[in-house]
Amino acid sequence: MKYFPFFLILLLAGSCAEPAGEADAQLLEPAFDLDSLTEVAARQYAKTLETLPDTNRIPRNAHPDGTWNLVKKGNWVSGFYPGVLWHLYALTGDEKWKEAGEAELLKLDSVQFFDYDHDIGFRIFNSFGSALRFTKDSSYVPVIVDAAKTLKTRYRPVTGVIRSWDWHDQWQYPVIIDNMMNLELLFWAARQTGDAEMETIAISHAEHTMDNHFRDDYSTYHVLDYDTLSGSVREKVTFQGYADSSMWARGQAWAIYGFTLTARETGRADFLKQAQSAADIFLKRLPEDGVPYWDFDAPGIPDEPKDASAAAIAASALLELSQLVEAADDQYRYHNAAIALLNALATPEYLAALPQQGLLLHSTGHKPGNSEIDEHIIYADYYFLEALLRLKELQPPTE
């Protein structure tokens, strides 16, 4: 119910003749019915439960013929499918999703100790973290704490940041903007365990990212390579974007989300400002239908593939951002921008229908690598459902 105060402000603002500084602001209504959209999601994933082969592999992306590409537990996306199931449980209250979510967690045995990249946050916090959040079952806590301890080992004081990848020979110490997402695991574990160093590391990572990963217009670089001796930045490049200088859509969405969560966890105005600036350039550059192309600077626009996942990540982040900003016009602006993104996604163009599986179509994983272009990808559904849940929690009392 933490969202009620915001809504009360908006309701009050709407009832006053001249609400402070925002006489003309209107709350944008969702163009979809939340319950009906939840039913669509449940219908889609009920089919997955019914048809998924009996395997330890985990759904990553759905092909148009209704089959899934399944991956091993070490894949960076392995936390999202369990997270989708847990979000469906939270949205519907139906025990079937809880049982399915519990079964998927078993597939992630020992993943909390996988130390070869930063994605342990995505793998464990979105799966076990969601389970803990929606059940309050403390038996999940040790796994998540162990994951945070593992993530901590990837930090070096000389750079001040957490190393993202180990598998690129051309870089000494690559750090990608996506890495901001994993700070949530550290903030949570610092509170849970009292290990203040985890929070210090998360804040250091965010501060360095704020200083180094942004251009003057607040668009973000994808990959920074740090010098392991001096700690300075050796180069600023891309891996999944169109060009070193371009604004890769999902990277920018990770930046909005990552700085929003860091602002929430720290209460710091500079992180909040950074989240707002990252959001403002993203929203300013959106195309007419409201869903970004895979890279805002892709050369073939408007004939480039979209990235629905970037829209879903940004929508969820913006709903939270609208709760953190103080000015009423900012609250309206970010809330309405989130609704506009969700409205654009909740259309026949973007929603899958059986026999297609998964929920959202038209995401792009790694265009330069010719991988997952204009497809359903599981993390788009995770953040879309998270946004629906945030929206549901925003609902004012009905009486």
Residues making contact with ligand GLY (CB under 6 A): 178, 240, 250, 365
Q: How far apart are the first and last CA of the chain?
A: 15
Which two structure tokens, joined as six digits, stand for 391? 């929206």
Nearer to ligand GLY, 311 or 339 (CB): 311
Nearer to ligand GLY, 19 or 83 (CB): 83
Select the residue whose beta carbon is closest to ligand GLY and give its number.
Answer: 178
Closest contact distance (angstroms) between CB of 200 and ligand GLY is 24
Nearer to ligand GLY, 178 or 295 (CB): 178
Instruction: Decide if 303 is catalytic.
Output: no
Nearer to ligand GLY, 240 or 323 (CB): 240
Closest contact distance (angstroms) between CB of 313 and ligand GLY is 9
Nearest-CA neighbor of 366 among 308, 294, 317, 316? 294
Closest contact distance (angstroms) between CB of 304 and ligand GLY is 17
Which two structure tokens, joined as six digits, stand for 79? 């936390």
Instruction: Spot the catalytic one: 119, 146, 307, 381.
Output: 119
**From the CA atom positions of the chain, what is the Rg in Å?**
20
Instruction: Decide if 119 is catalytic.
Output: yes
Nearer to ligand GLY, 178 or 381 (CB): 178
Q: Please report the DSSP string for 73-111 in residue order.
A: TTSTTTTHHHHHHHHHHHHH--HHHHHHHHHHHHTTTTG
* Cα separations in angstroms, 302 against 240, 241, 328: 19, 16, 35
The dihedral through the CA atoms of 278, 281, 283, 286 has a sign that is: negative
Instruction: Spot the catalytic one: 117, 146, 178, 330.
Output: 178
Closest contact distance (angstroms) between CB of 255 and ligand GLY is 11
Task: Give helix then strand counts, H and E, for the chain.
Answer: 14, 7
The dihedral through the CA atoms of 298, 302, 308, 314 has a sign that is: positive
Beta strands 233-237 and 223-226: pairing type? antiparallel
Closest contact distance (angstroms) between CB of 151 and ligand GLY is 14
Q: Which residues are catalytic?
A: 119, 178
